[in-house]
Amino acid sequence: MQARLPSLEEAVRGVWPLLSLAVILVVLVALCSLGPVVLQRVATDALIKLVMVVGLYVFVGNSGVLSFGHASFMMLGGYGAAWLDVPVRYKSILMDELPAFLGKAEFHPGLAALAAMGWAGAFAFLIGIPLMRLSGIGAAIGTFSWLTIVFVVHAGWEEMTGGTSSFNGLPIYVDLWVALIAALFVMLVAYVFQTSKLGLALRASREDEAAARAIGVNVWRARIASFVVSAMLVALGGVLQGHFLGTVNVTQFYIGITFITIAMLVIGGTGSLAGAVIGTVVVSVIAELLRQLENGVDIGALTLAAPAGLRELGLAGAMMLILIFRPAGLTGGRELPFPAFLGAALGLRPR
């Protein structure tokens, strides 16, 4: 086959799935930035979730293997960055048992974030070598077991993590715009990965593992690669969360966040990047509305407040409805379609 430049049509259609989502996201964020501070914080939180969900999607969506273990990489990322960029004056008081090379050192937050992603990626590679041999239920349990191990070690190792109490003093640099840039970056990586040779091979194995092997796909290797990329992106989510709240805590990165991120991905549709993004946006909006109900709504002189727990109840209910009535998720596992009017405007042939 001869290498050639893509035609205009191919180029437009090729970047469309990513570009359309990015535009939608930027518009939504721009609208939120005009709103009150509370809304901006909610939007920032949603963008951090988006980083996590798209990161999770890179593995789960492309490989079709469910992971209950990705919260472990958020934890590794969050604590990894905290060890490096919490100011020495905090460490010397709050975490005085840290080994000297961490306790007496202070790195630039950007450097710390990169290092934390590498730290999580290295663990993903090591644990991926054995775990990626499993599929289906075995993989779900294997990854969950890994999450438990990481949780127990972080919760138990008091000198390094402060145990079950929070590790405070993280520099707070994450605002709406930082989170938006991170989300766009993660989406770009996810899209490049899923359209790469390796990503396509992995998606083939998702559809039919035996057939993919028969045409020469090394499923194990492709899964490890996506697991590592996915872990690094999810770790970035953990880093952002830590530097948004100024604190990390082991319970932040355990079953609760595992459920929420999987719910977002399943509701949107595990099979496409659009599913990951739309699922996160939709679920965040619903969750925020339910949270306001929990806080109480003023109707005239009356304040109606729903009992605590309504948010999780609503999420679980939405997830059950989706699984029963639309098991492939809201997007049905497809990317956003290329609208016909845009094709006509650009003078492209309709398909």
Partner 1 sequence: MTTAIQVIVDALSVGSLYALTALGIGLIFGIMRLINFAHGEFVMIGAYMLMAIVAQYEPLAIIVAMVLVVVLALFSERIAFRPVRNASPTTMLVTSFAVSYFLQYLFVMIYGARPKGFEFLAGLAEPFVIGTIRIPKLNVAIVAVTIVLLAGLALFLTRSRFGVQMRAAALNFRMARLLGVRADRVIAVAFALSGILAGVTAIFITVQGGTLSPGMGVQLALIGFVATIIGGMGSLIGAVLGGYFIGVVTVLLQFGLPLEMRPYREAFVFAAVILVLLARPQGLFRGAEARERV
Q: Which of 8, 19, 93, 308 binds partner 1 (CB under 8 A)?
A: 308
Q: What is the C-alpha separation between 302 and 88, in angstroms, rounded?
A: 50
Amino acid, single-letter form, for residue 233: L
Q: What is the C-alpha separation between 138 and 125, in angstroms, rounded?
A: 18
Residue 138 touches partner 1, criterion: CB under 8 A: yes
Residue 286 touches partner 1, criterion: CB under 8 A: no
Of 102, 121, 132, which Cα lies nearest the Cα of 234? 121
Residue 282 touches partner 1, criterion: CB under 8 A: no
Residue 111 touches partner 1, criterion: CB under 8 A: no
Residue 112: count of CB within 10 angstroms of its CB: 23
Residue numbers 61-90 binding partner 1 by CB under 8 A: 66
Stretch that binds partner 1, among 41-49, 108-116, 152-160, 226-234 (CB under 8 A): 152-160
Q: Which of 146, 167, 193, 227 binds partner 1 (CB under 8 A)?
A: 146
Q: What x-and-dash track marks residues 210-229 binding partner 1 by CB under 8 A?
A: x-------------------
Q: What is the C-alpha separation between 304 and 139, in angstroms, rounded?
A: 44
Q: Which of 36, 216, 307, 347 binds partner 1 (CB under 8 A)?
A: 307
Of 61, 80, 60, which Cα lies nearest the Cα of 70? 60
Residue 132 touches partner 1, criterion: CB under 8 A: no
Place of tokens 């946006």: 281
| Least distance CB 266 / partner 1 (angstroms) | 6
Q: What is the DSSP letter of 97?
A: T
Look up residue 268 and give its two tokens: 């949107």
Residue 110 touches partner 1, criterion: CB under 8 A: no
Of 318, 244, 324, 241, which Cα lies nearest the Cα of 285? 318
**Toward partner 1, which CB reaches closer, 63 or 194?**
63
Residue 141 touches partner 1, criterion: CB under 8 A: yes
| Least distance CB 153 / partner 1 (angstroms) | 6
The answer to whether 59 touches 65, Cβ cutoff 8 Å, is yes
Place of tokens 């840039």: 181
Place of tokens 């974030």: 113
| Least distance CB 90 / partner 1 (angstroms) | 25
Q: What is the C-alpha separation between 242 and 252, in angstroms, rounded?
A: 10
Stretch that binds partner 1, among 228-236, 255-263, 280-288, 338-346 (CB under 8 A): 255-263
Q: What is the C-alpha separation between 219 and 227, in angstroms, rounded?
A: 12
Interface residues toward partner 1, by CB under 8 A: 66, 130-131, 133-134, 136-138, 140-142, 144-146, 148-149, 152-153, 155-156, 210, 255, 259, 262-263, 266, 307-310, 312-313, 315-317, 319-320, 323-325, 327
